[in-house]
Amino acid sequence: MAMLVFPGQGSQKPGMGKFLFENFGLAKECFDEGSEALKLDLKQLCFNASESDLALTENTQPALLVTSTATQKVLRSEFGVQPSMSAGHSVGEYAALVAAGVLDFAAAIRAVRIRGQAMQSAVPTGKGGMAALMGLEPQQAEELCAFVEKRSGKSPLSPANFNCPGQIVVSGAAPAIEWLRTEFKVENLWGETGPTRVKVIPLQVSAPFHCAMMKPAEEKMREVLSAIPFKNADFGIIQNFQALVETQAEQLKENLIRQISAPVRWTQSMQEAQKLGFTQIIECGGGKVLAGLLKKISPDFQVYSTNSLDDLKLIESLAIV
């Protein structure tokens, strides 16, 4: 059984989707439709923009969506892939909903453009931050965040991304992140019973995503998404918010809204997929970020990338349906 997964921010790269545009009319139509919906040249943005321009959140999110959508359409139309399940990492969940017939593509790309703008403007520059924690279990990350809030007197700080075992990203107020980086000592929280070492890596991000500081963006997207028709899904979607399979329109919408200020439960989502028997995974979009995470989540996953014609032909030859 084939499962499609769709990457989020961090997977963008100049040139993303260009080979699809040059080789498949369906992909060209997708880029044209998205460009018309936004009144923005997505070809220029994805193929020729600088890394810094592409990294702007309001640009990154539609660029990822158009590339991921073009990829899944070509896979299904030209290479015989018939997905039975999907999931997306953060903004990638919009691509999963488009693939499953829940959202109209033009409406979705307009929504993610607003989402990017709302997330960027929710917190003044420099007031929030994110950091990767290496070496903790999910429960330990929760305990650490509560400890930092208490000891530093600064909040919020909470897990934002459960990416894979041993790699959890936290998000929140910049002073809490700084206290974590400079003052936290493992023994002060867990004594001799905790992990031997925790590595804290501050991330260069433009805002503290997936934490309580994103509530203004969540409220904005509730307004935006409430005006967009949602349909029941053609196949199951494991959503970030609860890491459970969902197909019903109203619940899909609510979970999509709530994920903006809630953690991305990627590890738990992929463990759920494995439990349901999905081990053949196709990463639809640029890069191999999700492939790297999946290999750390379970060695049983067979992950296929979609970065070239050869990648697509390999998927076709293996008859991954």
Token pair for 144: 């650490």
Cis, bond preceding 156 (omega within 30 deg of 0): yes
Report the 10 Å Cβ neighbour count for 234.
14
pTM value > 0.85 = yes
Cβ–Cβ < 8 Å for 262, 162: no
Identity of the amino acid at 45: L
Geometric angle at alpha carbon 113, from 54 and 204, rounded to 5°: 45
- Give the span between the Cα atoms of 167 and 135, in whole angstroms: 7
Does the pLDDT value for residue 297 go beyond 80?
A: yes
Report the 10 Å Cβ neighbour count for 188.
11
Q: What is the mean pLDDT of residues 15-41?
A: 97
Q: Where are the domains of the chain?
A: 2-122+213-317, 128-205
**Average pLDDT score, the chain:** 95
High-pLDDT (> 70) share of the chain, %: 99
- Give the span between the Cα atoms of 168 and 130, in whole angstroms: 11
Q: What is the mean pLDDT of residues 50-69?
A: 94
| pLDDT tens track for 92-115 | 999 999 999 999 999 999 999 999
Supply the pLDDT for residue 195.
83
| pLDDT tens track for 20-31 | 999 999 999 999
Q: Which superfamily is assigned to 2-122+213-317 in CATH?
A: Malonyl-Coenzyme A Acyl Carrier Protein, domain 2 (3.40.366.10)
Catalytic machinery residues: 90, 210
Helix/strand/coil (H/E/C) assignment for every residue in the chain:
CEEEEECCCCCCCCCCCHHHHHHCHHHHHHHHHHHHHHCCCHHHHHHHCCHHHHCCHHHHHHHHHHHHHHHHHHHHHHCCCCCCEEEECCCHHHHHHHHCCCCCHHHHHHHHHHHHHHHHHCCCCCCEEEEEEECCCHHHHHHHHHHHHHHHCCCCEEEEEEEECCEEEEEEEHHHHHHHHHHCCHHHHHCCCCCCCCEEEEECCCCCCCCHHHHHHHHHHHHHHHCCCCCCCCCEEECCCCCCEECCHHHHHHHHHHCCCCCECHHHHHHHHHHCCCCEEEECCCCCHHHHHHHHHCCCCEEECCCCHHHHHHHHHCCCC
Identity of the amino acid at 179: W
| pLDDT tens track for 204-221 | 888 999 999 999 999 999
Reported confidence tier of residue 174, pLDDT bands at 50, 70, 90: very high
What is the fold, at CATH topology level, of the domain defined by 128-205? Answer: Alpha-Beta Plaits (3.30.70)
| pLDDT tens track for 234-288 | 999 999 999 999 999 999 999 999 999 999 999 999 999 999 999 999 999 989 9
Reported confidence tier of residue 320, pLDDT bands at 50, 70, 90: low
Supply the pLDDT for residue 147.
97
Cβ–Cβ < 8 Å for 234, 246: no
| pLDDT tens track for 2-14 | 899 999 998 999 9
Reported confidence tier of residue 1, pLDDT bands at 50, 70, 90: confident
Pick from 233, 245, 219, 287: nearest CA to 68: 287
Supply the pLDDT for residue 321.
55
